[in-house]
């Protein structure tokens, strides 16, 4: 019993600070001995506790004693001291804080963005089982697509035949107008077959979803997005249950979607008014979404879809040739929607990981250099009797204060960075991007990593310094001790690492910037400057095909006559984002099995379109006002379409018609060939495009207006608004942007990636040069005496300079070689973001290597020059 009590006291004593441990143990041993004596085996001392029970109190006592060392007052004085120390070294403090701040901030921003755009872009539960289904039509040369890609009949095939998928829903999208107090607002709308809420696994934020009978009947009921509820109705809960006017018809507003429930940015959902059976089998403008059944893998789903596609092919390929070898593929909704930014996101993730590494290395380097400079100070204080614990506690607090400063600034950088990014997204109107919010977990993680690195490297040298004998340290004065050599080696390794990482980042940024510049030099095939575009959707409820044609003709004529407008035109789509394509058949052409059927983009334009866009006529003529209904159908094709449809012959006079080889239709005569435009973006080769006339072919109810202006194109907007209002005051205009903006949005991923990577690379270059500078500068100070001796013995200043710089550049050179290796190895990941340049572009590699070498040479030259100017007499006297 007694022995147990002693063991417990010994155990507890380990908690007690060493300075107080002897006394502490003595007091407890004394008390325990007293207890022994009193109890002495006689049972009559009931008031006294048993020895073990008594000794149990030693544990809380030890804990209290330990804690007493760290009381608030104590800590405060440590913090104050740390503050004074850091204030005495403002350069160091500033650099360390900024390094931490940018490291933590940049990482948090990038991780948050990637998390909310690529990893978890949607709030839907169990995202792994939420799948979209898309087709690939090799016969049409059409790759796998999930957007406006399936027909209602194909949706029904999947819905009725699949066992591995449940809650299969489909939707079409279009523009609708909601009446407001002052006119009306255009809203992008989804029309659903099936219960989307059920499939997504979401419940409305207010009100309810659609009832099954409402879906069945296609009732006029509406659900709006959370953001529309905020912007249009001020989050008024009373609007739920009220009636809103959609395209002039009353709709019961039954619910509000939860926040971030954005399906391609649709803000209004209603049941599809008609059933799938009313559409032709090849009307492919729908999306299909489903949940995987429990215990089913994606492989099983796709195997089953292959079977369904095979059965459809067997039944319908005779009538619809595109079904030959077609396939249906399911993929998670997350993957489908993050494809645009996936490559850019992962490149940035990798880059920012490098930056974090660099931050840690640089911090280590800084703290190491600083601690080395103070090691004599520590040893001296130790020799004068300062307890080692206290010195360590001070250093610990110092690192903690630094970490807090850096961490706070890092949060600031992160918040500002995310706000800035959201602005960029808004300005560039980047499509399909969810809201980006600060990710707390990421902030915590990066903060913890850099702070731990700071603490570790702040304390390690201190532990070393306080352990070393003061006598040895004084002995080592002026010479290089073994310990200091070891630290120098560590510093050189750190410099090498910094150089390598910086080089890899610089190469990446160099490649991206280079390819971005190349992209900017690509000729779009027309004049994208000073052209404003906007879209108008006329409701079918108020307009028929003829009045739509009249409206847009009138609009075009009136805008064309506005002062400041050089020319105006109407079009169904414009570069860089044409999207409406159409299968066509050329007269006299037999499409043999195995070849692909032509499916060019079909754009309906008013006369004057090519003039307004600045697209050159190559041969023949463009569309005129005489090409009207009742006249022979005519079309203009671009050069790519001429090659695709008619080979090397002059196509003027040739004829084609809309639809597959088996379909009937009017022949359309080609009257001209115009120059190619980069109709899918600067980084994609021009695609075949066929132009018909809006004056001749009815083409739906929504068109873009293009206005080429003499000056700033946005200045003409009020006049255009007035013109539209004079034709119909209820029709809103939307998607207002200049063509230049449209092009810059189409390369947004490359733009963001090259911009961010350049920032990172600049930061990396700065960190690396700081690291090199501090190591060399510190080395020079340490070797002052040696340099003095050399100079006293007749060394030339230039020789000293060369010596110092050469020694400094050895680790840099090693780092450069390693960095080239890394850059070469990871370059492949960049490939999909590059344009017209190889990921191993020797020029970029060479320039970047020279740049970094130059900066490193400068960073070591400055302190080296100071060394070479030293007066040898003073240098020798230096202690």
Partner 1 sequence: MPRSLGVTSLRILGAVREGISYGLDIVAHTGLPSGTVYPTLGRLKRSGYLKARWEDQRVADREGRPRRRYYELTPDGTQALVEGTNRMAQLAADLGAAATSGTG
Q: Which is nearer to partner 1, 68 or 871 (CB)?
A: 68
Q: How far is the CB of 389 from partner 1 (least distance, A)?
A: 18
Q: How far is the CB of 391 from partner 1 (least distance, A)?
A: 23
CB atoms within 10 A of CB 163: 10
Q: Which is nearer to partner 1, 56 or 822 (CB)?
A: 56
Q: Which is nearer to partner 1, 33 or 550 (CB)?
A: 33
Q: Which is nearer to partner 1, 57 or 174 (CB)?
A: 57
Q: Which is nearer to partner 1, 71 or 520 (CB)?
A: 71
Going by C-alpha positions, the residue among 783, 772, 778 that lies closest to residue 859 is 772
**Hey, which residues does 175 pair with through a beta bridge?**
188
Q: Which is nearer to partner 1, 64 or 249 (CB)?
A: 64
Tokens 């983009």, located at residue = 601
- Contacts of residue 348, defined as CB under 8 A and 6 or more positions apart, other chains included, come to 110, 113, 114, 753, 756, 757
13 contacts partner 1 (rule: CB under 8 A): no
Q: Which is nearer to partner 1, 54 or 432 (CB)?
A: 54
Q: How far is the CB of 15 from partner 1 (least distance, A)?
A: 12
Q: How far is the CB of 70 from partner 1 (least distance, A)?
A: 14
Going by C-alpha positions, the residue among 361, 356, 360 that lies closest to residue 772 is 361
Structure-token pair, residue 197: 């809420």
Segment near partner 1 (CB under 8 A), from 61-69, 291-299, 364-372, 784-792?
A: 61-69
CA pair distance 875, 879, nearest whole angstrom: 9
472 contacts partner 1 (rule: CB under 8 A): no
Of how many residues is the chain composed? 879
Q: How far is the CB of 865 from partner 1 (least distance, A)?
A: 57
Concatenated DSSP letters of 425-455: HHHHT-TT-------HHHHHHHHHHHHHHHH
Q: How far is the CB of 12 from partner 1 (least distance, A)?
A: 10
**x/- letters, 153..172, toward partner 1 (CB under 8 A):** --------------------
55 contacts partner 1 (rule: CB under 8 A): yes
52 contacts partner 1 (rule: CB under 8 A): no
CB atoms within 10 A of CB 337: 24
Q: How far is the CB of 30 from partner 1 (least distance, A)?
A: 4
53 contacts partner 1 (rule: CB under 8 A): yes
Q: Which is nearer to partner 1, 61 or 487 (CB)?
A: 61
Of these, 58, 287, 399, 693, which contacts partner 1 (CB under 8 A)? Answer: 58
Q: How far is the CB of 790 from partner 1 (least distance, A)?
A: 58
Q: Which is nearer to partner 1, 54 or 543 (CB)?
A: 54
CA pair distance 351, 348, nearest whole angstrom: 5
The site that binds partner 1 (CB under 8 A) totals a number of residues, namely 26
3-class DSSP string for 808-833: HHHHHHHHHHHHHHHHHHHHHHHHHH
Q: Which is nearer to partner 1, 45 or 806 (CB)?
A: 45
Q: Which is nearer to partner 1, 1 or 482 (CB)?
A: 1
Of these, 60, 141, 241, 821, which contacts partner 1 (CB under 8 A)? Answer: 60
Q: Which is nearer to partner 1, 25 or 818 (CB)?
A: 25
482-488: long-range pairs with CB below 8 Å, 24+: 484/372, 484/782, 487/368, 487/372, 487/461, 488/779
Report cis status (omega within 30 of 0) of the bond before 474: no
Going by C-alpha positions, the residue among 78, 25, 62 that lies closest to residue 389 is 78
Residues 65-104 within binding reach of partner 1 (CB under 8 A): 65, 68
CA angle, corner 68, sides to 65 and 69, nearest 5? 100
Residues 22-51 within binding reach of partner 1 (CB under 8 A): 26-27, 29-31, 33-35, 37-38, 45, 47-49
Segment near partner 1 (CB under 8 A), from 60-68, 94-102, 471-479, 813-821?
A: 60-68
Residues 334-373 within binding reach of partner 1 (CB under 8 A): none
Instruction: Report whether 756 contacts 351 (CB < 8 A).
Output: yes
Of these, 13, 16, 61, 750, which contacts partner 1 (CB under 8 A)? Answer: 61
Strand segments (E) across 464-513: none
Q: Which is nearer to partner 1, 33 or 474 (CB)?
A: 33
Segment near partner 1 (CB under 8 A), from 56-64, 277-285, 289-297, 582-590?
A: 56-64
Of these, 2, 15, 59, 386, which contacts partner 1 (CB under 8 A)? Answer: 59
Q: Which is nearer to partner 1, 56 or 438 (CB)?
A: 56
Segment near partner 1 (CB under 8 A), from 54-62, 135-143, 466-474, 542-550?
A: 54-62
Q: Which is nearer to partner 1, 26 or 649 (CB)?
A: 26
Of these, 2, 15, 57, 69, which contacts partner 1 (CB under 8 A)? Answer: 57
- Contacts of residue 544, defined as CB under 8 A and 6 or more positions apart, other chains included, come to none
8 contacts partner 1 (rule: CB under 8 A): no
Instruction: Report whether 840 contacts 827 (CB < 8 A).
Output: yes
Type and span of the H or E element at 690: strand 689-693
Q: Phi and psi of 147, rounded to 5°? A: -105, 120
Q: Which is nearer to partner 1, 49 or 83 (CB)?
A: 49
Q: How far is the CB of 31 from partner 1 (least distance, A)?
A: 4
Going by C-alpha positions, the residue among 673, 678, 680 that lies closest to residue 648 is 673
Q: Which is nearer to partner 1, 77 or 831 (CB)?
A: 77
CA pair distance 259, 564, nearest whole angstrom: 43
Q: How far is the CB of 385 from partner 1 (least distance, A)?
A: 22
Q: How far is the CB of 40 from partner 1 (least distance, A)?
A: 12
Q: How far is the CB of 50 from partner 1 (least distance, A)?
A: 11
Q: Which is nearer to partner 1, 21 or 376 (CB)?
A: 21
Q: Crossing angle for the helix pair 440-467 and 90-114, nearest 10 degrees?
A: 150
Q: How far is the CB of 867 from partner 1 (least distance, A)?
A: 53
Q: How far is the CB of 2 from partner 1 (least distance, A)?
A: 13
Q: Is 577 exposed, middle or buried (0-12, 13-18, 19+ CB in 10 A)?
A: middle
239-244: long-range pairs with CB below 8 Å, 24+: 240/206, 240/207, 241/207, 244/178, 244/179
For β-strands 165-180 and 531-537, DSSP reports them as unpaired
452: left (phi over 0), alpha (psi -120 to 50) or beta: alpha
Q: How far is the CB of 69 from partner 1 (least distance, A)?
A: 12
Q: What b-and-e string marks burial along 817-853, b requiring 16 or more CB atoms within 10 Å of the CB?
A: ebbbebbeebbeebeebbbebebebeebbeebbeebb
Q: How far is the CB of 82 from partner 1 (least distance, A)?
A: 24
Which alpha helices (H) appear in 647-747, and where do they start and end?
717-727, 739-746
Q: How far is the CB of 20 from partner 1 (least distance, A)?
A: 10
Residue 296 half-sphere exposure toward CB, CA atoms < 13 A: 20
Instruction: Report whether 703 contacts 608 (CB < 8 A).
Output: no
Residue 635 half-sphere exposure toward CB, CA atoms < 13 A: 28
Q: How far is the CB of 4 from partner 1 (least distance, A)?
A: 15
Chain positions contacting partner 1, by CB under 8 A: 26-27, 29-31, 33-35, 37-38, 45, 47-49, 53-61, 64-65, 68
């Amino acid at each position: 019993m007694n022995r147990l009590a002693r063991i417990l006291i010994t155990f507890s004593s380990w908690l007690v600070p060493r300075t107080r441990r002897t006394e502490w143990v003595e007091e407890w041993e004394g008390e325990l001995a007293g207890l022994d004596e009193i109890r002495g085996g006689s049972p009559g001392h009931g008031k006294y506790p048993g020895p073990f029970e008594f000794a149990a109190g030693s544990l809380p006592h030890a804990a209290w004693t330990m804690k007493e060392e760290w009381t608030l007052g104590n800590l405060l004085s440590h913090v104050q001291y740390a503050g004074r120390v850091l204030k005495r070294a403002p350069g160091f403090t500033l650099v360390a804080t900024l390094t931490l701040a940018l490291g933590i901030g940049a990482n948090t921003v990038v991780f948050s963005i990637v998390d909310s755009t690529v990893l978890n872009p949607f709030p839907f539960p169990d995202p792994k089982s939420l799948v979209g289904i898309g087709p690939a039509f090799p016969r049409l040369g059409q790759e796998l697509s999930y957007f406006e890609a399936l027909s209602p009949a194909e949706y029904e095939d999947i819905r009725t035949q699949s066992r591995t998928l449940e809650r299969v829903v489909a939707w079409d999208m279009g523009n609708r107008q909601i009446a407001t107090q002052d006119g009306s607002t255009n809203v992008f709308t989804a029309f659903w077959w099936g219960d989307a809420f059920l499939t997504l696994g979401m419940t409305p934020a207010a009100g309810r979803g659609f009832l099954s009978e409402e879906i069945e009947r296609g009732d006029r009921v509406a659900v709006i997005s959370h953001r529309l509820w905020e912007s249009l109705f001020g989050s008024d809960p009373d609007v739920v249950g009220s009636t809103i006017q959609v395209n002039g018809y009353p709709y019961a507003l039954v619910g509000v979607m939860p926040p971030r429930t954005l399906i391609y940015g649709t803000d209004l959902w209603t049941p599809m008014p008609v059933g799938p059976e009313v559409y032709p089998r090849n009307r492919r403008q729908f999306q299909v979404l489903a949940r995987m059944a429990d215990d089913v893998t994606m492989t099983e789903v796709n195997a089953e879809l292959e079977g369904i596609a095979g059965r459809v092919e067997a039944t319908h390929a005779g009538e619809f040739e595109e079904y030959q070898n077609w396939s249906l593929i399911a993929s998670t909704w997350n993957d489908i929607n993050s494809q645009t930014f996936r490559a850019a996101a992962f490149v940035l993730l990798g880059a920012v990981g490098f930056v974090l590494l660099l931050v840690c290395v640089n911090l280590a380097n800084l703290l190491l250099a600083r601690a080395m400079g103070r090691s004599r100070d520590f040893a001296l204080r130790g020799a004068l009797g300062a307890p080692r614990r206290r010195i360590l506690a001070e250093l610990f607090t110092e690192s903690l204060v630094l970490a807090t400063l850096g961490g706070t600034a890092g949060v600031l950088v992160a918040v500002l960075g995310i706000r800035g990014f959201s602005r960029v997204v808004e300005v560039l109107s980047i499509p399909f991007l969810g809201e980006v919010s600060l990710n707390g977990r990421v902030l915590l993680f990066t903060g913890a990593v850099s702070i731990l690195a700071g603490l570790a490297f702040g304390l390690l040298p201190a532990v070393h310094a306080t352990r070393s004998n003061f006598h040895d340290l004084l002995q080592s004065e002026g010479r290089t001790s073994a310990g200091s050599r070891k630290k120098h080696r560590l510093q050189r390794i750190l410099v090498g690492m910094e150089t390598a990482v910086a080089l890899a980042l610089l190469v990446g940024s160099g490649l991206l910037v280079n390819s971005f510049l190349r992209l900017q030099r690509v000729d779009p095939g027309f004049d994208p400057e000073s052209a404003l575009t906007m879209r108008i959707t006329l409701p079918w409820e108020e307009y028929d095909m003829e009045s739509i044609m009249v409206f847009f003709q009138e609009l075009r004529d009136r805008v064309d006559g506005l002062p400041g407008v050089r020319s105006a035109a109407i079009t169904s789509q414009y570069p860089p984002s044409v999207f409406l394509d159409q299968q066509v058949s050329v007269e006299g052409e037999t499409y043999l099995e195995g070849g692909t059927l032509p499916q060019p983009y079909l754009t309906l334009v008013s006369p004057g379109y090519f003039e307004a866009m600045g697209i050159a006529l190559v041969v023949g003529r463009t569309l005129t006002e005489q090409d009207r209904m009742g006249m022979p159908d005519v079309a203009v094709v671009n050069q790519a379409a001429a090659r695709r449809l008619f080979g090397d012959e002059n196509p003027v006079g040739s004829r084609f018609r809309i639809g597959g080889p088996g379909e009937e239709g009017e022949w359309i005569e080609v009257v001209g060939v115009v120059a190619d435009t980069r109709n899918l973006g600067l980084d994609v080769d021009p695609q075949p495009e066929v132009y018909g006339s809006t004056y001749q072919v009815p083409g739906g109810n929504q068109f873009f207006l293009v206005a080429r202006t003499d000056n700033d194109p946005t200045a003409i907007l009020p006049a255009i608004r007035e013109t539209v209002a004079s034709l119909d005051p209820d029709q809103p205009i939307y998607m207002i942007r200049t063509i230049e903006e449209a092009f810059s949005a189409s390369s947004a991923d490359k733009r963001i990636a090259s911009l961010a990577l350049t920032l990172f690379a600049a930061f990396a270059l700065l960190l690396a040069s700081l690291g090199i500078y501090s190591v060399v500068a510190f080395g020079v100070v340490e070797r002052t005496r040696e340099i003095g001796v050399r100079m006293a013995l007749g060394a030339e200043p230039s020789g000293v300079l060369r010596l110092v710089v050469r020694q400094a550049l050895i680790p840099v050179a090693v780092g450069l070689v390693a960095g080239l290796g890394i850059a070469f190895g990871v370059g492949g990941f960049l490939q999909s973001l590059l344009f017209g340049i190889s990921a191993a572009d020797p020029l970029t590699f060479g320039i970047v290597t020279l740049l970094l070498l130059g900066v490193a040479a400068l960073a070591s030259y400055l302190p080296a020059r100071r060394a070479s100017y030293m007066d040898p007499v003073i240098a020798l006297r230096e202690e």
